[in-house]
Chains A and B, each alone.
Chain A
Amino acid sequence: MTVQVVKIAAIPDIEIDSVTLDIIENALKNTRYEMDAVLYRTAMSPVIREQHDQFPMITDPQGRMVVGQFGSYITGLMATWDQTIEPGDVIMLSDPYLCGGAISHVNDLLVLVPIFYEDELVGWASMFGHMQDVGGPLTGSLPTGATTIFGEGLRLPPVKIYERGKLNRAVLDIMLNNVRQPEMNRADLMAIVASCRTAEKRVMELCERFGKATYLAACGALLDRTYRAMQKLIVQNLPEEPQFFEDYIDDDGLGNGPFKMKLTIWREGDQAYFDWTGTDPQALGPINFYLNEGMFKMFIGVYLIMVFDPQILFNDGFYPLLHVTLPAGTLIQPEFPAALGCRTHALTRLFDVLGGALSKRAPEFTTAAGYGTSPYMLYSGYNTQGNFFYLMEITYGGIPGRPIGDGMDGHSWWPLFTNIPTEYLESYYPIRIDSYTSIQDSGGAGFHRGGNGIEKVYTYLEPGEVSIHDDRWLTPPWGILGGEPGMRSSKLLRRADGTEQVLPSKCDQVQVEPGDQLVYRTAGGGGWKDPLTRLAELVQRDVRYGLVSKEKALNAYGVVLHDDLALDADATAALRAQKAEERGEVQPFNYGPPLEELLANAEHDTGLPAPSRPQPIKWAAVRAARRQQATSSNGSTNGKSMG
């Protein structure tokens, strides 16, 4: 770090008794949830408050995450910070290219609060949250047509929004002057700052209670503890032979696609390797995901821990065990100034690919693919009183079939996110929700069924513009170990006059009039293991619940039900035996029809033209080659791409 003035506390090399350690661990965990609580109670935008698109963190003095969700990015950020850091400072930023991808689109506002105790920096509290609008040409700042980041709203470089406790009015005014709903951004910023300040207070209290040295030693020991746990997980669960997995983002919103993401995994001793070579070049449209290496390591850790042992407190301690290759100029490491707004699809697909690659060593533990993105619906305009309105809503879909049980129907793949109540939407926006349900048969069949996708029907009550961000309309979420794929997503606009129009899964500036109706359907989750072995009574229950049709029970599960839905056990046994015979061995993965077939039938099956094969962007390729050369000489794989 090139930080001036500040004395960064060293982690003392002292023994810490394991009970004190557990106490500090608990205290930090509680604090992390207290950060959430403060935010939810005070933020204004439904996206943060109702839907919880926000991520808190507390780090050690070096910026390594001790508790939180998204892993450390502070170390990288501080590498180029050339100002002082002092008590009372609050730093904020929103430019992904200036923080190595710590945040990955300009909507995410990242706030950092240094924590001082006895004049030494003992850690950081940090949080980022999704701002509903950060300016730019379209409401919501996520234009599907953006081809560079300059088309996506205000980019904030790292800047002190509070300097020694004093608000930097100029910066705040500039920021708020560039957004459509300044009051909302102001409140959300204040809420995030309040949340980080809470963590600051708690960490100072811990230093007071246990002594600074003990607190710091505890941070070190907690990181160590995760390191050791992870070491075991790697040796137990990662293959020595390289294994790869591929999956796709359907399109980039500009008619190009699909884009391949490819990951190869292996281990050498207790060291694990994750290589993204083979991933397609960066896209012209805004689906690029500028992946931070540290964050990716965190994803790996979280995933391994959740799959294999959810008790572990995860933090950055295990980072040295993981080695990541992120090839420059690709979808997951695009060259500046590639557009990044709609990176959610790749961010989510990353987990499908990771799960797929890991499953080859430990198939019993892994899950199928889910709805695979974060589907958005944006609606804005001016109401009859001339007032601006703007709604951004995140919807959910089918959770994958899992070792522990069925995938949930219409639930959030994202942690802790919730839906917006219909009564809230109708109280505050000119909109009516005609139905909100999961889609029968949309979950992939399996021993554990994939969750059904969501169907939400909106009726617009004022003229306005609608944007849609979704994926998995072309390639279905795959099933695993004999489980079948989930149903694909779709969007249908039904005009007030009865005419219907299929909308692409990524579009904006769709003009709507009062009475127009949007049928928004998200994808179902893939199934887990052989549906012919699913307990017939569970299939029968799903039919009685209306979640699976009688026909699907028959065709996919081989379960024969009478008209009154009573189970015909004999006919079921016979049909299942026959189907198993016809089918033969189950495949490890079921992707549905081959990609070529999906493309050839796209127009017929979905009402949307097939995307065209993406062409590499020449300037990006040149710059990527240059960067690759530069970084291979200095050894870093996550260099900055400015310049």
Chain B
Amino acid sequence: MAYRVGVDVGGTFTDMMLLDEDTGKFWRVKTPSTPHDPSEAVLTAITRICEQAGVDQKNIAQMMHGTTVATNVILEGKGARVGLVTTEGFKQILHLARSQTPGPLAGWIIMIKPDPPASLADTAEVHERMSARGEVVRELDEAHAEAAIRSLVESGIESLTISLINSFANPAHERTLKAIAKRLAPTLPVTISADVLPEFREYERTLTAAMNAYVRPKVEHYLANLEQQLEQREINARVNILRSDAGLMTLKTAEENPVYAILSGPSGGVAGALQVALRAGYPNILTLDMGGTSTDVSLCRGEPSIARETRLGYFPVKVPSVDVHSVGAGGGSIAHVPELTRALRVGPQSAGAVPGPASYGRGGAEPTVTDANVVCGYLPPKLLGGEMSLDVEAAKRSVQKIADAMGLDLYDAAEGILKIVNENMFGALRLVSVQRGFDPREFALMAFGGAGPLHGNALAALMGAYPVIIPPAPGLLCAMGDLSANFRDEFARTYIRTVDMIDREELTGILRDLGEEAKAMLSAESIPADRQDVQYSLDLRYYLQGYEIPISVQPDEVMNNGIGTLVERFHQTHDRLYGFQLDSPVEVVNVRAVGIGRVSTVELPEGAASGADASAAHTGTQQIYRNGEWREAGLYDRALLKPGNVIEGPAIITELDSTTVVLPNHTATVDTYFNLLINPMK
């Protein structure tokens, strides 16, 4: 009897899913997070879920863990004191950054520049130099370097970063320095840039390495703590951590390279959404994960889109991540009307969990998106189960402030807030679709997170992205994603040359070497050969362009046909993305192999088809305000809906952790897997 758990530790809740690998049966629990020690909530969840399932904790063989520990360390600025070693002449690399100030003209007047992860006082230069081709220009002065590192160590740094100019081309000096540091301080965590990000552009590489060093002690501590507590309970599970690119990594890798997990949370959501959508027969989806303070959106075509850079707060961190775009628009976003322009703005300020929206009755008075939903009737005052009721009068009082400032009727003001927040999310969805050359009308919209199902239909109507898919338990999708994730790691090499300079055998050799590295990683993870996949790609661009487009490839294809067809695919992709092609030479920048170890998938529960009649789930009615008029909407209990049931909008479908709105002229159909599929009426 083998069990696996997927666990997602979020800011507010810790979600867990337990799977019986033999029967495919699973259980879910949701418990409040414990930010002072996140492992506490994880263990509580284990206790509860095992009780619920009647399973002995010791039978949990594997734990797949999505965590925001690294994310929060960065967002809250509570990381380690980081020492940094640079090439002589580049001590200020993080201080000067890319020298950028915000737009428009004179934007520098209001710029606030946050402190980089390593202070200038904790930065030391060493005497050495590589060329961009990897030749030694100046030998490393080891005696001088040793003194410099010793002085850093003695000053009390908690984590060390080594990042030298052109180390992407030859990391020899970084490795020597690491050995010196390890000799001087065997327990000090040491991060070298060529290991974390062996790609050119020194600021981004140094920053990414320094970020890694910054989050490392806290993540190490958390993981060690978790391991120890599991051991105490005699749970012998193998723990894997979800990376930002929705792949799994081992505990050891996570301890050394925690920066790979900075978007672990959102990537679990995307992986979960995709898992559900694939099963429902929709490989192409836009995901909309709307929480309390922000909304994450992404685009998947059978698999998640992977980006090479992500921005966390102010800092661009270059690690492979699910291409999630985040906007400061959530249920708790506060609406306001600036004095000067009298324009209606929503967010990015948020009421957070405390005091929360006015309607939560926890002392909040500012009008939030949730309050607007209450005023318009989209959120019924009594949520299912009666665990929590909403204060409609408080919501009205808060939204009235907006109405007064704008000279609008209360209900128009509330609807205005919803329209603005929808527009903000629409902007984000457009960024990941239209702006990348994809037509949203060819995608389904998967709406989840606490507030996603409230807004999903309205967004689909703006974009023409149908159906809207609302999975069962929309607030628990991340844990499902964790549970169904695959092992994944990337192996890349910078290899800059125009295609006419490429030696076919050399390139094939590099691809195969990287592929072997990927396979070795998977084997080390005890993934059997028949469950190992390696995907190869080249990053291509027109000579002298600055940004690359990844084009997938097979080593044999390169060996047999050269890269002519590849170049053709590049031209076509460039044309799709930007609307033109050039005659200019095409250049290879990076060669990449991605190792994927497939873990068994999760079987979703299916229900027997029933008729279209949903009246068994009908619990009442509710007045809703839309486009300036009141309509009567049917209220439904989701738990009572059966596959095949059809609900005509306007309707509101409630369940334990979420509320779904079906707009007028739309219908919601329950599919075999208990998803709600919302489509416009013919």
Contacts and interface: CB of A to CB of B under 8 A. Distances in A.
Interface of A: 18-19, 21-23, 25-27, 30, 34, 37-38, 40-46, 49-50, 69-70, 183-184, 186-187, 190-191, 193-194, 197-198, 225, 229, 232-233, 299, 302-303, 306-307, 309-314, 351, 367, 396, 399, 402, 404-405, 408-419, 421-424, 426-428, 432-438, 454, 457, 541, 544-547
A567 B508 CA distance: 62
Given A22-B343, A22-B344, A40-B547, A183 B99 contact: no
B546 A40 contact: yes
B412 to A, nearest CB: 8
19 contacts: A18-B343, A19-B419, A27-B423, A40-B546, A42-B545, A42-B580, A49-B546, A194-B578, A233-B340, A303-B106, A410-B96, A411-B99, A411-B113, A412-B101, A414-B105, A422-B165, A426-B131, A436-B92, A437-B96
Interface stretch (B200-208, B263-271, B645-653): B200-208
A103 to B, nearest CB: 15
Interface stretch (B83-91, B304-312, B363-371, B465-473): B83-91
Interface in B180-214: 200-203
B54 interface: no
Interface of B: 88-93, 95-96, 98-113, 119-121, 131-132, 137, 165-166, 168, 200-203, 338, 340-345, 406, 408, 412, 415-416, 419-420, 423-424, 427, 430-431, 435, 496, 542-547, 574, 577-580, 582, 584
Contact of A306 (B107, B168, B338): B107
Contacts of A351: 106
A545 B582 contact: no
Given A312-B340, A411-B100, A438 B95 contact: yes
A26 B423 contact: yes
B163 to A, nearest CB: 11
Given A408-B108, A410-B99, A418-B100, A49 B545 contact: yes
Given A41-B578, A411-B100, A424-B201, A187 B341 contact: no
A457 B89 contact: yes
Contacts, number: 235
B99 A417 contact: yes
A306 B340 contact: no
B111 to A, nearest CB: 7
A375 to B, nearest CB: 12
Contact of B89 (A25, A30, A183, A436): A436
B545 A187 contact: yes
Given A26-B423, A424-B200, A457-B89, A415 B102 contact: yes
A194 B102 contact: no
B606 to A, nearest CB: 39
Given A69-B104, A411-B108, A437 B496 contact: no
Contacts of B416: 18-19, 22
A417 B579 CA distance: 25
Nearest to B165: A422
Contacts of A42: 545, 547, 574, 578, 580
A516 to B, nearest CB: 16
Contacts of A23: 419-420, 423
Contacts of B112: 404-405
Given A427-B132, A427-B496, 15 more contacts: A22-B343, A22-B423, A23-B419, A34-B435, A42-B580, A187-B544, A194-B578, A225-B343, A302-B106, A367-B109, A408-B101, A415-B107, A436-B90, A438-B96, A457-B89
A139 to B, nearest CB: 16
Contacts of A18: 342-344, 406, 408, 416
A69 B202 CA distance: 30
A198 B92 CA distance: 38
Nearest to B106: A306
Contacts of B120: 544-547
B202 A422 contact: yes
Contacts of B103: 69, 415-416
Contact of B338 (A41, A49, A311, A435): A311
A30 B430 contact: yes
Given A194-B578, A197-B579, A437 B92 contact: yes
B341 A310 contact: no
Nearest to B416: A19
The winner among A22, A309, A418 for most chain B CB atoms within 10 A is A22
A69 B105 CA distance: 7
Nearest to B91: A437
B299 to A, nearest CB: 16
B537 to A, nearest CB: 18
A45 B543 CA distance: 10
Contacts of B113: 408, 411
Contacts of B415: 19
B563 to A, nearest CB: 21
Contacts of B344: 18-19, 22
A402 B101 CA distance: 14
A417 B543 CA distance: 22
Given A18-B344, A428-B544, A436-B96, A413 B104 contact: no
B579 A194 contact: yes
Contacts of A186: 582, 584
The 7 closest A-B pairs by CB, nearest first: A435-B89, A415-B103, A545-B120, A19-B416, A426-B132, A306-B106, A418-B98
Contacts of B95: 409-410, 438, 545
A421 B96 contact: no
Contact of A229 (B341, B345, B545): B341
Given A411-B96, A415-B103, A421 B203 contact: yes
Contacts of B343: 18, 21-22, 25, 225
B146 to A, nearest CB: 21
B121 A413 contact: no
Nearest to A70: B105
A418 B99 contact: yes
Contacts of A421: 200-203
A631 B131 CA distance: 60
A34 B431 CA distance: 8
A44 B584 CA distance: 10
B121 to A, nearest CB: 5
Contacts of A183: 543-544, 582, 584
Contact of B100 (A41, A311, A417): A417
A437 B340 contact: no
Nearest to B168: A423
Contacts of B542: 44, 187
